[in-house]
Structure 1
Amino acid sequence: MRAALRLCSLVLALVAGVGSLPAHAETRAILVGVSRYQSASIPDLAGPANDVSAMERLARSLGASDIVTLADGAVTRSSVETAIHDMGQRSRSGDWVLFYFSGHGAQARAQNPDETDGAYDQFVPLPGFDPVGQDPESFIVDKDFYAWMKRYLPQDVAILMVVDSCHSGTMHRAIDPRTFAFTPRIAFRPGEARAIELVARPGPRLGALGADATPGVVPGEIAVPRREDLPNLVYIGASRDDQLALEAALPQEGAPQRGVLTYALEQALSLPGSNDQSPVADLDGDGLVTVVEIGSYLNSQVRMLTAQRQESTLFFPAGWAERPVFAAVPVPRLSFDLPAPYVMIAGQGDDLATAPQDAAWQLAASSNEADFLWLLGSREVLRSSGDVVASGIASQAAFAGVMDKWQAILTLRPLVSELAMRLTVDPLGSDALYGEGAPIAVALARTRRGGGPRYATVFNLASDGTVQLLYPLGPDGEGQLDDALQQSLLDTVVVPPFGVDHLVALATPDVPEALRAALRNADGQRAAGGLAALIRAELKKGRGKASLSIAELYTGN
């Protein structure tokens, strides 16, 4: 085939109440954002203010009317604790409380290291935090959030906790600094964390209101609950511990800076799904968004939005996978329409001063405003993710093939649904860079079986936009999937041209005749245009029984 730092963890915690929700249940929200820091050692951020505004819109779409917002200088340890305490007083059985934090995160040497939490504490530095002259009012350790929620919020109140911050990780694939446009939400570098030791902090200051009736716990004492100590807590993190979580201009350059997982969450609950009445995170089209559905959707979206550099994680109590996240599903309020990506052409002549009328892109004023950079001298195409995505691109026709392919991928990205199946790339995964001659194995993994027959259609969009039909071929018949947990699709080695290939798999309840006919006609050609519309039609026709997976394969010397 043609093969072609925000040290962070955005945490999404969903806590559902016990039992059925009463008719009077309300949604309430506490939104906290820190963009500006007083210490010269902590860089300011552009994204949190935009994130908080977006979360307020989302909260209102969920019916929230009781919304408390704390921003920048108003954010202290006491103000956050008091907001949670007071919200507990106002909340009633069956309510949802959305707690949201956006800003930097960090880690420091643990005051009491143990086998469970390791040698470091994760904490949130607030605007006044200074690693040298620390004030306990200027930071919050992650366990403090759990202690306050366990103490001040009754267990029959559902909590949705979103913490868009950072603590540890690294990049698994080197970045090209010419176009890397992501910003790390990182307060301190990993090595600096070894030198930071937090001063003693006070325990809960206020009296317990609901769930926490632990004997001997009084205001001023330090309770040390962990995530698993809250039996009704579902937790989604923005990235694995060995990765970075990022913020960027989303969905493209020129747009506001956003935390990637926050942006994905807003889309998950605001874009229309297969039945148009419920959001796109309703992956099976039954009118509900369950814990496993929103976790699966966010995982795929975060991976694609960050070029596989970040992957969200999901933890939930046993038996909670199919539990609805909300009592009522929000009505979709956004559209799938995306503007054409911005392109900067370096070394262009007068004939390339403007984009062709029918181009799948628009010309950027500078490289800093570009989603893609075409370097005529080296014949490379770079993306704002910090990757060379195509090489050997020497003509307008060749560049048009590259951009047609990317327009198709960008259009399909919000529609990815990997609850039932997912493409995998081995042996290094999709976040690695594969060099020339490196072996590659592509497989289709079944993550959920049953529900009737499924027919798989798999093709590759090579780095230069060439379409390659992979499955089904002659001996594969109609491509009906069996009950095998994994089906091998391709074993090969990397050869030029280098860049990024996109492997696309669609599983449908019926044979997608029109799509397969189009793929046969386009096979071996730069002809990605029109494929996205056919796939979208099949997903809509499947009404929750169809799945779409996209794997990215990065190659280069």
Structure 2
Amino acid sequence: MVRGVLLSALLLVSTSQMALSATRALVIGIDAYPHEVSLEGAVKDAQDVAAALQGAGVTQLLTSYDAQARKDDIRAAWVDLVAGSAEGDTIILTYAGHGSQMPELVAGDEEDGLDEFLQLPGFDRARAEETKREIIVDNELNAWFSEAEAKGVRVLFVSDSCHSGGMSRSFSGKTRLAPAVTVKLSPPSQEAESGAKIREADFREVTVLAASLESQPSPEVIIEGEPRGALSWSFARAVEGAADRDGDGRISRIELEDYVFANVKHQSEALQVPNFTPQLPRSVDEVMLPIGEAGAGMAWGQAGKTAAELGWQDKLALDAGGADLSLQHVGGAGVPYRWDVDSGVFYTPNGDVAGEHVDDKTVQGVVDKFVLLDFLKILASRNPGSVSLSPVKDIYAKGDRIAFEAPASHYRNMIVFNLANTGEVQLLDVQQEGTESHVFKLTDLEVVEPFGADHLVVISTNEPIDAIAALLARKNVDAASLLQLLLSRLDGKETAVAIQPLYTREKL
């Protein structure tokens, strides 16, 4: 079940049953690894998730951070949660930290011959056999989840870690991937052997939500100026109520999936694709977790907070290498964007090339583009739309052909535009005053210079968009002008935003 993917779970119950059920949680976050490269955002992720769960009315919340994250204590906490749960209750287990792989403990158990494990601080791969008690193997998780399922208790496992893979874009941050153990270990527990007999198909009440596919790493990316895990950040916002689109105080599997998929892409700049197990909901009304009255008010129809109220600032943290420039909208806090004045390359906080040939005449436009992008990401975090590029790549090379599609929505108005890496805004489509939008497609697009980071954006709303459409119809529209118009027309209004990052480079 947990082989290769580690994730979330849940329920098929009536409203009356849910009112009587309880939700408990165990939240684990590890930054400090004495024998490994330490992380920077995992504890912050765990604390964020814990705060969201507490706000949603979780009955019992247990946390384990850094050195507190010892195997025996985590196991005891799980036993306590299961013992205190009854049929119809829910247990949420979340983990943010390093994941890794090792040769399978039981011969023939894994198709790829590798077991995945969560790495706790006490594990030292230089003394792997001696410290193996401080890992949690996928087989052990199977056994733990079986204990809950035997009581009719539902399990949601959210794992913000990674196990293998590589990325083709340059990346200056850390990934939650520890080096694989190459020696074959003896099983660290009896459960590590017995759990190998449990298959994914055996579970009826367990769902796993993983940060990425097994073939991808899970990077720590910069969100709101800090290193974070995109899955944990998105899950916390979902639990706060942002995923509860119909405002019924419950988050369905479909609501959670739509919300998490879109926001992980937005926040990771398309470096990650989350993964649900099972891949399809068990029913159209399958509920992942009840969030109660505390979270229900966060549904878009009842929220209406402005971007500033949600933490957005119209400033960008920028390191220009000491260059003496008078730029507007700079001075924000957190990990900075970086502009190499000599080479003209503009880098994102994650280390991606955002633009080339940027000079003192064009740098303001690039700054304004990312200030606008931060604003759009805030809107998307409340109400994400959906878009797609095919084929899917981390980075596209000169001459690549791409198809871009935005599906129809229930909103009457839709605007599609490109935020170019130069800071220019390029209108692609406007749909106004329909009963709903229609599908937008661009096929056979070719990647050309200048290279860097473009962002294809779809804004869907029932608010009037005449003034926005009129502005975008002009030539040489800049990001700063569009931002001012969006602030006056759409900020705090019900608006769905979808963002598709498009990173390009010279053909290798």
TM category (shorter chain) comes to 0.7 to 0.9
Contact preservation (8 Å) 1:14, 1:233: yes
Superposed CA deviations along residues 322-351 of structure 1, whole A, max 9, x for unmatched, are 4333333425499422232210113613xx
Contact preservation (8 Å) 1:458, 1:506: yes
Q: Does 1:426 align with 2:390?
A: yes
1:439 and 1:221 map into 2 onto residues whose CA distance is 49
Superposed CA deviations along residues 31-85 of structure 1, whole A, max 9, x for unmatched, are 223333343xx22223332223222212210213522233444434333222211
Contact preservation (8 Å) 1:143, 1:226: no
Pairwise CA distance, 1:227 = 3.6
Superposed CA deviations along residues 303-328 of structure 1, whole A, max 9, x for unmatched, are 22222111212234544344333333
1:285 and 1:531 map into 2 onto residues whose CA distance is 29
**TM-aligned CA distance change 1:549 to 1:258, over 3 Å:** closer
| Corresponding position of 2:188 | 201
Counterparts in 2 of 1:376-525, with a 5 A limit? 376-396=341-361, 398-416=362-380, 422-427=386-391, 429=392, 431-435=394-398, 437-445=399-407, 454-472=412-430, 487-489=440-442, 491-508=444-461, 512-521=465-474, 523-525=475-477
Pairwise CA distance, 1:400 = 1.7
Pairwise CA distance, 1:378 = 1.9
**TM-aligned CA distance change 1:204 to 1:181, over 3 Å:** same
Pairwise CA distance, 1:167 = 0.8
Of 72-81 and 101-110, more deviation after overlay is shown by 72-81
Pairwise CA distance, 1:108 = 0.9
Which TM-score applies when normalising by structure 1? 0.77
- Give the alignment partner of residue 362 of structure 1, picking from 322, 331, 344: 331
CA RMSD after TM alignment: 3.4
1:400 and 1:284 map into 2 onto residues whose CA distance is 40
Of Structure 1 and Structure 2, the greater helix share is in 2
Counterparts in 2 of 1:90-489, with a 5 A limit? 90-114=84-108, 117-131=111-125, 132-134=127-129, 135-152=131-148, 154-173=150-169, 175=170, 180-188=171-179, 192-193=180-181, 195-204=182-191, 222=195, 224-252=197-225, 255=226, 257-270=227-240, 279-283=241-245, 288-316=250-278, 318-329=281-292, 330=295, 331-332=297-298, 335-339=309-313, 340-346=315-321, 348-349=323-324, 352=325, 356=327, 359-362=328-331, 370-396=335-361, 398-416=362-380, 422-427=386-391, 429=392, 431-435=394-398, 437-445=399-407, 454-472=412-430, 487-489=440-442
Pairwise CA distance, 1:430 = 5.2
Pairwise CA distance, 1:284 = 5.3
Pairwise CA distance, 1:386 = 1.6
Segments of structure 2 that go 5 or more residues without pairing to the other structure are none
Superposed CA deviations along residues 381-424 of structure 1, whole A, max 9, x for unmatched, are 1112222212232225x222111111111111133389996333
2:208 and 2:425 map into 1 onto residues whose CA distance is 39
Contact preservation (8 Å) 1:10, 1:164: no
Superposed CA deviations along residues 114-149 of structure 1, whole A, max 9, x for unmatched, are 486431111122222233441442221112112112
**TM-aligned CA distance change 1:513 to 1:494, over 3 Å:** same
2:38 and 2:335 map into 1 onto residues whose CA distance is 23
Contact preservation (8 Å) 2:207, 2:276: yes
* Structure 2 residue identity aligned to 1:183: K
Tell which has more relative contact order, 1 or 2 (C-alpha 8 A, sep 6+).
Answer: 1
Matched length: 488
Pairwise CA distance, 1:295 = 1.6
**TM-aligned CA distance change 1:527 to 1:250, over 3 Å:** closer
Pairwise CA distance, 1:166 = 2.0
| Corresponding position of 2:81 | 87
- Give the alignment partner of residue 67 of structure 1, picking from 61, 71, 80: 61
Over alpha carbons, which structure has the higher Rg?
1
2:12 and 2:386 map into 1 onto residues whose CA distance is 31
* Structure 2 residue identity aligned to 1:184: T
Contact preservation (8 Å) 1:172, 1:243: no
| Corresponding position of 1:211 | none
1:221 and 1:10 map into 2 onto residues whose CA distance is 19
- Give the alignment partner of residue 549 of structure 1, picking from 473, 479, 498: 498
1:281 and 1:385 map into 2 onto residues whose CA distance is 26
Contact preservation (8 Å) 1:507, 1:547: yes
Provide the identity percentage: 26
2:47 and 2:471 map into 1 onto residues whose CA distance is 43
Contact preservation (8 Å) 1:430, 1:552: no
Contact preservation (8 Å) 1:344, 1:363: no
| Corresponding position of 1:78 | 72
Contact preservation (8 Å) 1:106, 1:122: yes
1:71 and 1:222 map into 2 onto residues whose CA distance is 26
* Structure 2 residue identity aligned to 1:294: L
Which TM-score applies when normalising by structure 2? 0.84
1:71 and 1:482 map into 2 onto residues whose CA distance is 46
* Structure 2 residue identity aligned to 1:186: L
